[in-house]
Chains A and B, each alone.
Chain A
Amino acid sequence: MRAFAGLLTAATIAWGLSAPFTYATDISFWTWRQEDKAAYNELFADFTKKNPDINVKFQSFPDENYPTIASTALAGGKGGDVIHTHAYGWLEQFVKSGYFVKQDASNMPSLANMSADALLSGTYRADSQVYSLPFASQTLGLFINKDVFEKAGLKAPTTWDEFIVVSKALKDKGVIPLANGLGTSWFNEMFVATFTGPLLGQEFVSDLKSGKATFKDPRYIAALTKLLELRAYMPTGFEGIDYSTAGQLFISGRAAMLAGGSFDISTYRAQNPKLKMDFIAPPAAKVGDIPQATKFFDGGYAVNAASPNKEAALKLVNWMGTKEFGDKFTALLGNISPIKGVDVKDPLLAEVAKLNETAMPHINVVYFRFEKPTGSELLQSGITKMMSGSITPEQLGGDVTNGLAKWYKPFQGK
């Protein structure tokens, strides 16, 4: 009995001594990317290996309800310790309310690993400070079904004229040239950005920023007018074809091309592992023009200002800005990390990364989603009308400009 009591006392002392060394901080990561759970858990396991005192719990919420869930939780002083955020205007609403910790060289040294345009996506315009560490760039371009092109004996188009010639030839062979429809509002805006980007060029973007140009500008109207030509090469009933149907038409080989986002490369591969595809820049205005895809940053990682574990959360986010994280993130998720010097081993993703070097910014996402009405709301509600012929490109350009002039000073009085 005495021996047992001694053993018990020794065990208690041993437990008491070891306890301070085994206590770990548990932090949570909130995201809308439910499909990325396995990859993030693997990444977080790497982090915990390096920081055994911090455990990270992955918590995901449905994409559509994520803003509501996140804002409600943050307003109540709750929410994850690290919050996966969208970028630009979406982020700004949260920063204005003081929900996120400011990131600078002292608490987030890995900001130095990001390019300037990436940092812009996580920067609050009013104080020019970063609140969310960028996590991925997305590129809009043209998916090419190589098998279909090979069978038809055609080459992927690089200019608008080539695009029309190739599309006519494909149509004659009974193949849908362009898989896209207009049944998904958010993608309609991406569709416009994809095809108008190379026709507009970087100079137009600078002119928009300075107020030299608006969306009534003849360059923009001409680019919108070009879109009308695409209708002849889209599927029958394209007005009602949604983005997921378009994807299915493309991967099944019923359609030869698809204006889409690099974010779908891994999805299409998973759905049809035999698919031979390419991702190229959308058609340029003329031969010799620089290939111009459209690029934007999807979002970032922010630290909840009300988190009781801010230090651990900052440590995690800082690690998420390192090359070590970026390499594995790109390999596991097929997304391009904005971290400088990241290895992109996948050949198709490497092509996308190359396109990014000369890409146009996604005009609406990067510059016109900060106040109401957003450029996206205005364009999304007008583009289907324009494509169906109920309004003209001039009317659409005018509506977008006049709507934005409510809050975008360079457009006021124009």
Chain B
Amino acid sequence: MFIFADVKKYKKHIRFTLALSLICIILIGLTTCDKGQAPGIADGAPSVYYWRTTLRLDSTERAFLAQHHIEKVYLHLFDVVVADGKCQPAATLAFNDTLPADIRIVPTVFLTEECLHADTTDLASHIVARVAKMCQAKRLRHAHELQIDCDWTPTSREAYFGLLARIRTQLAALSDSEAPEGWRLSTTIRLHQLSQPAPPVAYGVLMLYNTDSPYKRDSRNPIFAPEDIQPYLRSLQHYSLPLVAAYPNFRWQRLFHGDEFKALLYSENLSDSTVYEPVEGDSLYRVVQGRTLHVELQGSHDVRLLPGDEVVVTRPNAGELISTARLLHKARPSLHNQVIFYHLDHASINQLNQKDYETMYHLQ
């Protein structure tokens, strides 16, 4: 212990202590810098996904792009699914409109995990050729990157990484004056994939949504729950691939009978008071008249609404989004070199207010 009354006597000790403290501070700083140096991307910009099957923007959507200075749109071009035992494109985007000319477009393709268990021999060339043809046919300027979205698992990892490597090779051949070295390849990364080796791509988009199952009624917010993200902080700090963040702004209308999940009601109008009665503001409705929602409305199967069924409306909580984003920022600042919202859609845009978007797009 030092006796401060006799400073001179212990001057040497004090110097030593200060030096030691400085070294500690530097070391701590280095450790922090190590986190801070987790790779990011150089060309980050406010971005958004466009995931509908028809490209048509209304005034609200155009205003959103302008107001938030959106520079990049990750444009979903098609899915790849297994049909008749073969990988085939599906849900191809119909172009009924154009995006503002100054926006960079990143063509995005969703691949079902099932495809990775099918024959993928020619899949890379099929995907790249079709994307290139679509970009050329629809004059998608500034498109020099392809993003693949796939919920791969450890069992399909090898097939997926192999496919990505082949796609990357194919993309290298797509060089032009704007991209002399060919196109870049990126991919989505789900939270559970952070514990796996990184895929062979330029960077990943960390999907910070769909954090829990929508089928459980009493679970945390299944779209975005901080508790479901926190366990991945450590993996995030050490993940070797450059990452950027994608946050949700969409809502789900989940139909339950008691606690039993029945369906997601995609396009159902809950303000139709002849069918739905609001129970808790805009977050819970009860069905008051039975009816069948045909497959055309529901996507995969007919859904029977029964009196007493309830529709739980779930949306991300802005406060939780911002506080969790700040936590993630501390763990890996480069994550927010670019923030992407999923997705550009009139109804989704209104789930958060302008100030929240501003905060999220400019996280420091």
Please indicate whether A and B come from the same complex rather than being unrelated chains.
no
